Chains A and B, each alone.
Chain A
Amino acid sequence: MTDPTDNQGIPEPDGDANLIETDYEIGQDNIEGSVGPFGFDIHNPVFMISGLSIMAFVFYALALPEQAGAIFGWLRPALTNIFDWFFLGAANIFVLFCLMLIVSPWGSVRLGGQDAKPDYGYVGWFAMLFAAGMGIGLMFFGVLEPVYHMAISEPLGVPTPFGADGTVIPENVEAAKAMGLAATIYHWGLHPWAIYAIVALALALFSFNKGLPLTIRSAFYPIFGDRVWGWTGHIIDTLAVFATLFGLATSLGFGAQQANAGLEHVFGIPNNVTVQVILITAITAVALVSVLRGLDGGVKVLSEINMGVAALLLLFVLLAGPTMVIFSDFFTGLGTYATEIVALSNPVGREDTGYRQGWTAFYWAWWISWSPFVGMFIARVSRGRTVREFLICVLIIPSLVCVLWMAVFGGVAIDQVLSDPATSSVKANVIDSYSPELSLFAMLEGLPLASITSVIGIVLVIVFFVTSSDSGSLVIDTITAGGKVDAPVPQRVFWCTFEGAVAIVLLIGGGLGALQAMVISTGLPFTIVLLLMCVAIVKGLQSERA
């Protein structure tokens, strides 16, 4: 009695689906029920273990702040100092692996099957890529890093243009400028995006093409087999929730402090815990509205607005600053990045310890600790792209945008520092004293309409936090629901609120620094996880082409 041709909604697949046969049924370990009027559908035991262990660590950081501070304060630099070669080497492997996939025949495999259509257009997709994982960093480090690397950290031993007495040494200027930009681009270009791309590709492949649940453990199926549905998988997923929630909460806490510093600088609003708690509450409230409006109506819309405003600010700085100098900086920076990338990414036998360990290894650990969250979010919105298209769009284009951003913000700042060192606010806040949270506003001060652009800057900082917070809540909700994306609404409300609450508790009680150090320390085990993912991706793609 049915008419098969009347099933207009979804086209029939052309050819066999290449699913992984497993006895695991999505949601089989879930507990469904309700607490009062609120329904829930959670994975047992990932939801409970993650929730309880997060609370346990918060109590630990509050109860023994000095001990926690000492342990994690030691652990983080110890890891980046001892394992710098490992982080740098692994990140190089990720970049080469992605580039290899782009040119290999596997590049034609389509995520979601050969006939899948992309879920999102390019604009919405790019906006979400940026907003989830990197936007806030661009705001914070766009001015700070190029100036710092030019004048202080001396990557690859390129000398600073400032003498001991603070005067400019003209013969050092060109090389230091170019290296300042190139060393920054290195941290925001191919390597971080390759880290995100590996996780995103693994999850998208195993979920959309192989039919496994959209959760971190699925990427390990080719390695661990059916054991991923047991404790091996529980631990992987719990670690991912842990890194994501603490990564977001501690960034939110620090972000509130930075936004408060900006508000004090621009409006004279007092810089204290009360204002910061209000900021966190406001950011969480907006993120809550966003997750309640859903992926399309909230997260995507907010990401697009944010990208539009950021693009306008970029355009303004480009036009208000020394435009031709910026263009020249862009190409010089890009050229230096291209010629020095091998030297900058060399993991052994280098002298520039401060830059390599203090910045590069730290960044790699940081990106890697964020990769479960950003990677899973990217995976969710990338269905319908071919592997080649996916990698070009996740690796190459965001890298170029970051290069442009750094060239514009960093280029203007460097120009301000070098053309008038005596009065430069950037020099005062980055080189003479280290106030990273003020660096963006210090640069904007040197341009026209600073009172307006500073406000836009503060708004962007805040909204970029919202777009990380809402996408992060969706990711945690999906992982703790065993890969279900249609868990009841109260669950995403819970995670979004929980994240804000953890941030507030740590802000008031102390312990933000300790727990952020702990999150970054998870970068080490996750580096091994990512290397295994590369193997899993090859296995997965092999069976797609077979």
Chain B
Amino acid sequence: MFQKIMVPVDLAHADRLERATTAAADLAKLYGATVVYVGVTAPTPSAIAHTPQEFAGKLQAFAADQAAKLGHQATSHAMVSHDPTIDLDDTLLKGLNETGADLVVMASHIPNVTDYIWPSNGGQIAAHAKASVFIVRMA
């Protein structure tokens, strides 16, 4: 049913992703799909990496780690955004296009009052992506 599952990853808060990555891994194994971990970084140095290249390396290591731990096929896809605070949704949608994934599994916070002003990333992706979107609420 699904060939490629895209999982957006925030490496700075990887601890909050466990439910989403587990769900993605189970789906991947069920359908024999590959999981592609997509991460977005600014071109400037961050807490995660000094350069976009270093970021790509860390994302790749994260993918390898998940693959070993959860036993599924995994790749990574790092992307640069000039202003990730604002452009994250657009960048992820572009990533969806570039990877050709047919399912997105992503973690999202429980909606609160700010979602009326700034909709959650998960909500935005679900509203605009052509692929199916599975939003996993953080516990």
Contact = CB atoms under 8 A, between A and B. Distances in A.
Interface of A: 1-4, 6-13, 17, 19, 25-28, 36-38, 112-113, 119, 207-208, 211-214, 292-298, 380-381, 383, 474, 483-489, 492
A294 B45 contact: no
Contacts of B126: none
A9 B37 CA distance: 12
A13 B47 contact: no
A486 B85 contact: yes
Given A2-B63, A9-B98, A486-B85, A208 B56 contact: no
A214 B43 CA distance: 10
Given A3-B75, A4-B60, A119-B43, A211 B50 contact: yes
Q: Which of B43, B78, B80 has the most CB of A within 10 A?
A: B43
27 contacts: A1-B72, A1-B74, A2-B60, A2-B75, A6-B76, A8-B98, A9-B80, A13-B51, A25-B47, A27-B46, A27-B47, A113-B51, A119-B43, A119-B82, A207-B45, A211-B50, A213-B45, A214-B44, A294-B82, A294-B85, A295-B86, A474-B83, A483-B44, A485-B44, A487-B85, A489-B118, A492-B85
B44 A6 contact: no
Interface string B83-103: 111110000000100100000
Contacts of B112: 37
Contact of A486 (B42, B63, B72, B113): B42
A90 to B, nearest CB: 28
Given A1-B67, A9-B79, A483 B45 contact: yes
B108 interface: no
Q: Which of B36, B76, B78 has the most CB of A within 10 A?
A: B76
Interface residue SS majority, chain A: loop
Nearest to A206: B45
Contact of A2 (B50, B74, B79): B74
Interface residues of B, number: 42
Interface residue SS majority, chain B: mixed
Interface string B39-77: 000111111001111111001100110011000111111
Given A17-B50, A38-B114, A119-B43, A297 B86 contact: yes
Nearest to A27: B47
Contacts of A488: 85
A38 B32 CA distance: 40
A275 B54 CA distance: 52
A485 B53 contact: no
6 closest Cβ pairs, A-B complex: A211-B50, A294-B86, A295-B83, A1-B67, A27-B47, A6-B75
Interface of B: 36, 38, 42-47, 50-56, 59-60, 63-64, 67-68, 72-80, 82-87, 95, 98, 112-114, 118
Contacts of B55: 10
A2 B51 contact: no
Contact of B84 (A9, A37, A119, A485): A485
Nearest to A204: B44
A6 B36 CA distance: 9
A115 to B, nearest CB: 9
Contacts of A296: 82-83, 87
Given A9-B78, A9-B79, A211 B87 contact: no
Contacts of A10: 52-53, 55-56, 78-80
Nearest to A112: B43
Given A2-B64, A27-B47, 18 more contacts: A1-B64, A1-B74, A7-B75, A8-B77, A9-B38, A10-B53, A10-B55, A17-B50, A17-B54, A26-B46, A26-B47, A38-B114, A207-B45, A211-B50, A297-B87, A483-B44, A484-B46, A485-B44
Contacts of B38: 9
A12 B53 contact: yes
Nearest to B52: A10
A25 to B, nearest CB: 6
A111 B72 CA distance: 39
Nearest to A488: B85
B50 A295 contact: no
B100 to A, nearest CB: 11
Contacts of B84: 485-486
Contacts of A12: 53, 56
B60 A294 contact: no
A25 B49 CA distance: 9
B78 A485 contact: no
A12 B98 CA distance: 18
A119 B87 CA distance: 15
A383 B43 contact: yes
A67 B117 CA distance: 44
A19 B51 contact: yes
Nearest to A13: B53
A489 B56 CA distance: 25
Contacts of B46: 26-27, 484-486
B125 to A, nearest CB: 17
Contacts of A294: 82-83, 85-87
A8 B36 CA distance: 11
